[in-house]
Amino acid sequence: MNAGQLQSLKDLIEFLKQQEVGEFELEQEGLKVRLSFAGQGRSAGNNVDLGQLSHLLQYAPAASPAAVAAPAHLSNVSAGPSAVELSTAGEEAGLHIIKSPIVGTFYEASAPGAEPYIKVGDQVESGQVVCIVEAMKLMNEIESDVAGEVVKRMVASGQPVEYGQPLFAVRRR
Amino acid sequence: MNAGQLQSLKDLIEFLKQQEVGEFELEQEGLKVRLSFAGQGRSAGNNVDLGQLSHLLQYAPAASPAAVAAPAHLSNVSAGPSAVELSTAGEEAGLHIIKSPIVGTFYEASAPGAEPYIKVGDQVESGQVVCIVEAMKLMNEIESDVAGEVVKRMVASGQPVEYGQPLFAVRRR
Amino acid sequence: MRFTNSLEFNTFTELRFMFRKVLIANRGEIALRIISACKEMGIRTVAIYSEADRNSLHVRFADEAICIGPPRSADSYLNVPAVISAAEIADVDAIHPGYGLLSENANFAEVCRASNIKFIGPPPEVTRLMGEKEKARMSMKKAKVPILPGSEGVIQSEEEALDWARQIGYPVILKASAGGGGRGMRVVRSPEELPNFFRAARTEAQNAFGNGDLYMEKFIERPRHIEFQVLADEHGNVMSLGERECSIQRRHQKLIEESPSLQVTPKMREEIGATLKRCLETIGYMNAGTVEFLMDEDGKLYFIEMNTRIQVEHPVTELVTGVDLVKAQFRIAAGEKLSEIVTRPIEMRGHAIECRINAEHPEKFTPSAGKISVFNLPGGNGVRVDTAQYAEGIVPPYYDSLIAKLIVHGTSRAEAVARMERALSMFVVEGIHTTIPLHQRIFADEDFRVGAFDTKFMERFFEREKLRRESAQ
Amino acid sequence: MRFTNSLEFNTFTELRFMFRKVLIANRGEIALRIISACKEMGIRTVAIYSEADRNSLHVRFADEAICIGPPRSADSYLNVPAVISAAEIADVDAIHPGYGLLSENANFAEVCRASNIKFIGPPPEVTRLMGEKEKARMSMKKAKVPILPGSEGVIQSEEEALDWARQIGYPVILKASAGGGGRGMRVVRSPEELPNFFRAARTEAQNAFGNGDLYMEKFIERPRHIEFQVLADEHGNVMSLGERECSIQRRHQKLIEESPSLQVTPKMREEIGATLKRCLETIGYMNAGTVEFLMDEDGKLYFIEMNTRIQVEHPVTELVTGVDLVKAQFRIAAGEKLSEIVTRPIEMRGHAIECRINAEHPEKFTPSAGKISVFNLPGGNGVRVDTAQYAEGIVPPYYDSLIAKLIVHGTSRAEAVARMERALSMFVVEGIHTTIPLHQRIFADEDFRVGAFDTKFMERFFEREKLRRESAQ
């Protein structure tokens, strides 16, 4: 299992935990994963140990009205765990997520009016530039870390992105 | 398995533990991993809901040195849940516990030097006076609420007792 | 730059006498408040508790704890023989009653005295005098404390009623001597209205209570509730610590208190303080006490009653004056002089506000007993929390619903308001309902923010909320 | 009785200009402290966080939050492009750096300036000046701030050394210019000892560092660490807010801080305050800062360095002066004058003490990262807790171990000490180790209680504990 795969697996487990999944199985192309979380006994049924999760953090903060009033273009950035949520929103079994390695502004093309680097349906190669994230006036070319088919773009051009925010979903070849 | 793989596996296990995973299986390309963490029984069994207990109240308060310095004759009274502890300490299956219905001072006899109302081994009747609890200079006669054999006396004569504190254990007839 | 000599603050005060061991005849946050004061003074503490409070923090943090009865207050915290008996077996020097429960029970104070246990509060005679409202009014009146003007005794006729109304000044309110609950009650705004209203009220009172006797009081349309904190030592000295504004009430239950009041000028504060000092020195008042007033629309104060105990809302006074009132209670009871306890002139610094956090449904106000799952307290600059609750703690259904007091202090009322909003937004309680959301709505209210309120504020507030909800549909 | 006019406290201050939105370039309790100040001032907040801090309270309570990198500080909180980039996409007016991390990084302040973002702190030129210890010393010396006397440059010979020692006054310490770690170091107590020690130190330095250059400083046997808090506006006005006593340290990490210091007389406080005012006005200092001194056994103060940021221990000054230092930082940065921010003369009221609660093993001092299972905060009168931790929260292993600051305020040092003992006994943390038990032991120490300590206190304290343990066996 290579580093990328391992990272994907870890992401998935974090997500499962966050979603309070008790047991999980996955089989795909020679890969088979099965897991159950602690406190999820077979017969225990819905005996969810809430203590394991942070109650406090499930709490919708009083600050939410203000957050709603945030400029629309920042709404994806404003909630703490948004990257994870977005990640899951676009994630289906077997998809690889290209994430932003830096904080900045996402651009799909090298210049206004130019062709986007990639579009949904395109085939990308590992190392191919897929977009630009501008940070401190610098245009940073972001490369794909896998080869495959672009299944989804998760961010609109011109939108701010945080570290680790999902940009594209790619079905690996 | 080479050193790199071993390290990856260790990382993964650490991560699983951190994520509070209970059981995990992975199969891929000739590799098969299965693990379950200690204390994760199949059946709910000893799946104690610690949340039900107050962690905070298991905490030995900082005040304990002072409590130790308390007059010896109050030591039974000084700890909050003492009555319960005593109750269980003296309780065996089938024994009935006669508890103090009031706060006060326990006396085994009607006057200093007099015969105790009851002794271990005696038979008591329901309604029979078993001791006196003095409160506000009043001598309150405490009656047995069952008939049976006195198995144990839990309090020394002259000792203060709190509400609900076990006084005698009686084996019911 | 002005610096006070730091040495002044660094001498260990040598107390001539202090209690060795005290029993706290209360539960919840006030019991923990008193235990904290004792710990800081080196006094050993004995908690008492009912079976429902076995796992309470006042039990955990006291040096000793004694179970005195089953959950119902009448069988435990209000059970005088059980409390005294606990005090005797624990061999304490004194009992602090907190507020509520036995705190204003003169008989209890008397039993303490008979048992040679110091009761932390005024002597039973004074408690009894203040407990009889009419006697208390007359004592205050004699000492020139302004009282709510009213008829003396029963009004026999319309003529007499007109006469009283002229003396008192319109509007006035007619009340049934035997009555309550609004029946036999009429607000009269002019002499023309009086005869008809008098007859109607008398008939109503007769029908409702079998007794048509009426009396008359000045009617205050939109009164504020303003109270003065006093301390009195056992050497005849009384001192006022300024006022608290407690007009934000729901069904006569205070929700929010603050100090100082925006309505009390320094001149009024000084005058009332001086009058209370004179009056309470005459009466022979001792220990902490609170004198409650109604304030009319013109800013005039009228005495209503005196509470002879520490109040729930005492922390707002502590924050603005810097005087620890509970410690002062102990030191007074130990025989110290006020001049030794409060060594600087009282000065009100900044502004303090308290929100009572109750375990209640925030709209329906039904008590919300149960297990607290999450309990995240706000902290930081200018924030004080008095509570005996904790995560995994239980709110039992037997006692009052106050689970925490959130108190803030700022240099101005504006800062205190902003600080309270900040603190409320960081106070997270789960597992039970609390009044936190209600407080947040009140703090967003424009009238509240500018200080334009009276004891009818909450009625209008709920009315406005209802209208807004309806128009939103 | 003296009452301040309550109206003075009740006018809403109208600010001419205030920031609309601020990014907090920090984490933990100080981030939450700054967020609290912003909430109270109506400023929108943007938190930044590393992947390890996703579930932190500074993320939860900010209006917006942006993940800027992986757990390691170098890749996230210390990553200037990531921080600036976050500030740009969130469109903030200003950045508050807190303490540590980027707070004293002049380059970062410069990048902020270039990006048109106000850095809440002094301008980069001043930070840079104060960052170069020798330049800072000279600036202070020029303004007649007392500095630790020492030789100027390298000492060439024994004769020169004797000359310097006579000027400085015995005892003196010889130090290796290239050195550190005690090598090439000698304490000299008399001229007789000097020649031999000088030769020995030179040889040692030569052997250890390949460079035998020595210099000389006054040696203070048992120094106290005393620091002065200052505020400076952007109009050339500087004000001192008195001192903090920070001598209780373990390996140069402060454990306990208090204000005022028992050693600083009102006269000294005023003199040092006036000198600092003159000196920092000359330098053009801006915003909050702390000037650190060593105090010798005779109570003389010697400048060591200046910290150009808010300090961990700022709350003790807030409690005794009543000035909110973080709010003052924002108001200064927004262009307000000191005279508008601090409207009364600074007066030190009572005594405040802070304990740093670290996630560390209380004997071994190894960091104790992990999940907190129980977190019961003390509250009540005179207790302040600054923390970003909570029950079920995680202490990540990547950052410093401070999880909470427990701060108390009392009318005297004795009351503050008693209050801290009370509060420590009610502060319950489970799941990780903390320094709470260590603090309890320190507060029980007689030398600490009477204030007889210096920066070597903790060494002696551990030594005494060790001896006691050994003799007990």
User: How do residues D137-166 score in pLDDT, each as one tens digit?
Assistant: 888 988 899 998 888 878 999 999 999 999
CATH class, range C15-120: alpha beta
Which residue of chain C comes nearest to D428, CA vs CA? C390
Chain D residues in contact with chain A using a Cβ-Cβ cutoff of 8 Å: 44, 49, 51, 54-55, 59-70, 76, 81-82, 84-86, 88-91, 115, 390-393
Q: Is the pLDDT score of C19 beyond 50?
A: yes
CB–CB contact A163 D115 (8 Å): no
Percent of chain A with pLDDT over 90: 42
Residues B106-158 have pLDDT tens digits of 999 999 889 999 999 999 999 999 999 999 888 999 999 999 999 999 999 99
* Active-site residue, D309 included: yes
Residues 22-41 of A with CB under 8 A from B: 30-41
> Collapsing DSSP states into helix, strand and coil, what is residue C237?
coil
Residues of A in contact with B44 (CB under 8 A): 41, 43-44, 47
Chain C residues in contact with chain A using a Cβ-Cβ cutoff of 8 Å: 373-374, 376, 424-426, 428, 430, 440
Question: Helical H runs in B19-157?
Answer: 55-58, 64-68, 75-78, 82-89
Chain C residues in contact with chain B using a Cβ-Cβ cutoff of 8 Å: 44, 47, 49, 51, 54-55, 59-70, 76, 81-82, 84-86, 88-91, 115, 373, 390-393
Tell me how close the Cα of D170 comes to any Cα of chain C, in angstroms.
Answer: 31
Residues of D in contact with B56 (CB under 8 A): 374, 376, 428
Selecting from D374, D424, D440 the residue whose C-beta is nearest the C-beta of B59 gives D374
Residues of A in contact with C424 (CB under 8 A): 62
Q: Is the pLDDT score of A45 beyond 70?
A: no
Residues A122-145 have pLDDT tens digits of 999 999 999 999 998 889 999 999
Q: Is the pLDDT score of D4 beyond 60?
A: no
Tell me how close the Cα of C273 comes to any Cα of chain D, in angstroms.
Answer: 9
CB–CB contact A103 D59 (8 Å): no
Residues of A in contact with C440 (CB under 8 A): 62
Tell me how close the Cα of B42 comes to any Cα of chain A, in angstroms.
Answer: 5
What is the band of A26 on the pLDDT scale with cuts at 50, 70, 90?
low
* A60 Cβ under 8 Å from any chain C Cβ: no
Selecting from C1, C262, C422 the residue whose C-beta is nearest the C-beta of D39 gives C422
Residues C197-243 have pLDDT tens digits of 999 999 998 988 888 889 898 999 999 999 999 999 999 999 999 99
> Collapsing DSSP states into helix, strand and coil, what is residue A18?
helix
Q: Which residue has the higher pLDDT, C131 or D235?
A: D235
Chains contacting chain A through 3 or more C-beta pairs under 8 A: B, C, D
Rounded to whole angstroms, the Cα distance separating C86 from B163 reads: 9
Residues of B in contact with D440 (CB under 8 A): 62
* A56 Cβ under 8 Å from any chain C Cβ: yes
C163 burial level (CB within 10 Å; 0-12, 13-18, 19+) = middle
CATH of C224-472, one of 3.30.565.10, 2.60.40.10, 3.40.225.10, 3.30.470.20: 3.30.470.20
CB D166 within 8 A of CB D155: no
Tell me how close the Cα of A83 comes to any Cα of chain D, in angstroms.
Answer: 8
Choosing among D395, D398, D420, D428, which should be mutated to test the B contact, i.e. which has the most B CBs within 10 A? D428
Domain boundaries, chain C: 15-120, 149-218, 224-472
What pLDDT score does D325 carry? Answer: 98
Rounded to whole angstroms, the Cα distance separating D400 from D144 reads: 36
What pLDDT score does D355 carry? Answer: 98
CB–CB contact D67 A66 (8 Å): no
Lowest mean pLDDT among B46-60, C345-359, C455-469: B46-60
**Secondary structure of chain D in HEC code, one letter for each residue:** CCCCCHHHHCCCCCCCCCCCEEEECCCHHHHHHHHHHHHHHCCEEEEEEEHHHCCCHHHHHCCEEEEEECCCHHHCCCCHHHHHHHHHHHCCCEEECCCCCCCCCHHHHHHHHHCCCEECCCCHHHHHHHHCHHHHHHHHHHCCCCECCECCCCECCHHHHHHHHHHHCCCEEEEECCCCCCCCCEEECCCCCHHHHHHHHHHHHHHHHCCCCEEEEECCCCCEEEEEEEEECCCCCEEEEEEEEEEEEECCEEEEEEECCCCCCHHHHHHHHHHHHHHHHHHCCCEEEEEEEEECCCCCEEEEEEECCCCCCHHHHHHHHCCCHHHHHHHHHCCCCHHHHCCCCCCCCCEEEEEEEECECCCCCCECCEECCEEECCCCCCEEEEECCCCCCEECCCCCCEEEEEEEEECCHHHHHHHHHHHHHHCEEECCCCCHHHHHHHHCCHHHHHCCCCCCHHHHHHHHHHHHHHHHC
What pLDDT score does A119 carry? Answer: 95
CB–CB contact C425 A50 (8 Å): no
Chains contacting chain C through 3 or more C-beta pairs under 8 A: A, B, D
The pLDDT of C390-401, averaged and rounded, is: 92
What pLDDT score does B84 carry? Answer: 43
The pLDDT of A23-27, averaged and rounded, is: 65
Q: Which residue has the higher pLDDT, C95 or B11?
A: C95
What pLDDT score does B4 carry? Answer: 62
Please state the φ and ψ torsions of residue C219, each to the nearest 5 degrees: -100, 125
Residues C273-322 have pLDDT tens digits of 999 999 999 999 999 999 999 999 999 999 988 999 999 999 999 999 99
CATH no. of A83-172: 2.40.50.100
The CA-CA-CA angle for residues D176, D182, D183, to 5°, reads 55
Residues A66-122 have pLDDT tens digits of 222 232 223 333 333 344 444 454 455 579 999 999 999 999 999 988 999 999 999
Mean pLDDT, all residues of chain C: 92
What is the band of D19 on the pLDDT scale with cuts at 50, 70, 90?
very high
What pLDDT score does C110 carry? Answer: 97
Q: Which of D309, D331, D384, D413 is catalytic?
A: D309
Number of H helices, E strands in chain A: 5, 10
Residues of C in contact with D260 (CB under 8 A): 6, 9
Q: Which residue has the higher pLDDT, C392 or D6?
A: C392
The pLDDT of D174-198, averaged and rounded, is: 86
What is the band of A23 on the pLDDT scale with cuts at 50, 70, 90?
low
Residues of C in contact with A55 (CB under 8 A): 373-374, 430
Residues 85-144 of B with CB under 8 A from D: none
Say yes or no: domain D149-218 is CATH 3.30.300.90: no
Chain D residues in contact with chain B using a Cβ-Cβ cutoff of 8 Å: 373-374, 376, 424-426, 428, 430, 440
pTM as predicted: 0.83
What pLDDT score does B21 carry? Answer: 73
Mean pLDDT, all residues of chain D: 92
What pLDDT score does A48 carry? Answer: 29
What is the band of A6 on the pLDDT scale with cuts at 50, 70, 90?
low
What pLDDT score does B49 carry? Answer: 30
Tell me how close the Cα of C374 comes to any Cα of chain A, in angstroms.
Answer: 6
Q: Is the pLDDT score of D15 beyond 60?
A: no
Q: Which residue has the higher pLDDT, B50 or C333?
A: C333
The pLDDT of C435-450, averaged and rounded, is: 96
Which residue of chain C comes nearest to A66, CA vs CA? C425
Report, as residue numbers or ranges, the catalytic residues of C: 309
Chains A and B form CB pairs within 8 A to the count of 83
Which residue of chain C comes nearest to B80, CA vs CA? C65
Rounded to whole angstroms, the Cα distance separating C305 from C315 reads: 20
Q: Is the pLDDT score of D180 beyond 90?
A: no
